[in-house]
């Protein structure tokens, strides 16, 4: 039996951390769909067109060491605005969503485009400053040299591009539960999401 949980939201809102915890809680498979776009964007650094990169994506590409860099994030946002790239990656995501045993997918258009029939839809968000601080701490902990102001500007640029694109813009599904994690610990956010999902499954 399949059960799909769609979790959307902007960068650094906590959706990835929440999604992994939810998948572990319920024993579901987890797919960070942003990795598909990060890997596609990273492959363009090697001279491939975005569409070629998407069509030739492999499991090995999702294990690249450079997928969490700021450059990969910006490249992901650029290639994600290309309808042909999104189309090339849709079937993979939908098949994953309906695998036996349940699945959690997180991204930016899961509840609106990839899995509009998901049993549970969530939209995880937080204020710009909070998200930028989280991303700044993550990047600097990994050894990157950057500033908070640069990270904040980068985040806002990406948000604007993701929200304004014609193909699957970033927005909550009409029937998604919106959770603002700005003033929450990760444990509190996970507990709220888990309680909501259990109520939906009851």
Contact 86, 151 (CB under 8 A): no
12 is in an annotated binding site: yes
Can you tell me the distance from the alpha carbon of 182 to that of 201, in angstroms, rounded to the nearest whole number? 27
- Structure tokens of 112? 């609106």
Task: List, as one string, the DSSP characters of 94-145.
Answer: HHHHT-TT-EEEEESSIIIII-TT-SEEEEEE--HHHHHHHHHHHHHHTT--
Strand partners of residue 169 = none
47 is in an annotated binding site: no
DSSP label at residue 14:
S
14 is in an annotated binding site: yes
DSSP label at residue 176:
P
95 is in an annotated binding site: no
11 is in an annotated binding site: yes
143 is in an annotated binding site: no
55 is in an annotated binding site: no
9 is in an annotated binding site: yes
- What's the gap between Cα 118 and its chain centre? 16
101 is in an annotated binding site: no
Can you tell me the distance from the alpha carbon of 106 to that of 162, in angstroms, rounded to the nearest whole number? 15
Give the residue numbers of the binding site for ATP. Answer: 9-17
Give the residue numbers of the binding site. Answer: 9-17
């Amino acid at each position: 039996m399949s059960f799909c949980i769609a979790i959307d939201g902007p960068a650094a809102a906590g959706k990835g951390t929440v999604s992994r915890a939810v998948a572990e809680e319920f024993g579901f498979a987890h797919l960070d769909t942003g990795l598909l776009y990060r890997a596609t964007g990273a492959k363009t650094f090697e001279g491939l067109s975005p569409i070629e990169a998407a069509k030739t994506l492999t499991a090995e590409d999702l294990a690249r060491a450079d997928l969490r860099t700021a450059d990969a994030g910006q490249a992901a946002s650029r290639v994600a605005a290309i309808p042909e790239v999104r189309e090339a990656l849709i079937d993979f995501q939908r098949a994953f969503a309906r695998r036996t045993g349940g699945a959690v997918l997180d991204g930016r258009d899961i509840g609106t485009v990839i899995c509009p029939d998901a049993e549970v839809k969530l939209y995880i968000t937080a204020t710009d400053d909070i998200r930028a601080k989280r991303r700044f701490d993550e990047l600097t902990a990994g050894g990157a040299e950057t500033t908070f102001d640069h990270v904040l500007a980068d985040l806002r640029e990406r948000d604007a591009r993701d929200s304004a694109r014609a193909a699957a813009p970033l927005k909550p599904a009409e029937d998604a539960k919106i959770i603002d994690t700005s003033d929450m610990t990760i444990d509190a956010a996970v507990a709220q999401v888990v309680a909501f999902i259990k109520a939906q499954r009851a």
